[in-house]
Structure 1
Amino acid sequence: HTPGQNAIIIDDKIVFWGDLLHLYDIQIPKPKIAIKFDIDQNEAIQTREKLLKEFKERKLKVIGTHVPFIEPKFLD
């Protein structure tokens, strides 16, 4: 939601994302849902959709801020 936020891919296996989303259980199945903290809601939605698709296709485990788990996991 913050312009210029980063995601770091480690050993082509795990991605640590910054502020890609805020509501994991809601925005993973529905990445078009924006929040008031998305400074540019359209850009945030496009970025979220693009990166979530890429992470799934590359079969990367994810971890980062605003997730309800403490170990990296695959996206459903």
Structure 2
Amino acid sequence: MAEIIETLLTAKEACEYLRVSLFTLRKMEKQGLLKPFRTPGGHRRYSLEMLNEYLERSRNCFDKSEGEGSDREGDLPQTVS
């Protein structure tokens, strides 16, 4: 039987991976965007899979909203002289 080993990161490692501050990481957790595992000692651990899923969701949201209400790619903003 194959055993699946999940990569877990500390809060500091998760911050470095996502390129966010610890404050932002905690805020994302409070908003329900991330749900860390807790060690028996109460420390948070973030799965690499969960972080990658968050990044993918964020990327998809950004891609969808990019064209809404903004100039199309390649268009220059109009200036008034």
TM-score between the two structures when normalised by the length of structure 2 = 0.28
Higher helix share: 2
Of structures 1 and 2, the one with the larger relative CO (CA 8 A, separation 6+) is 1
TM-score between the two structures when normalised by the length of structure 1 = 0.29
Higher strand share: 1
* Higher Cα Rg, which structure: 2
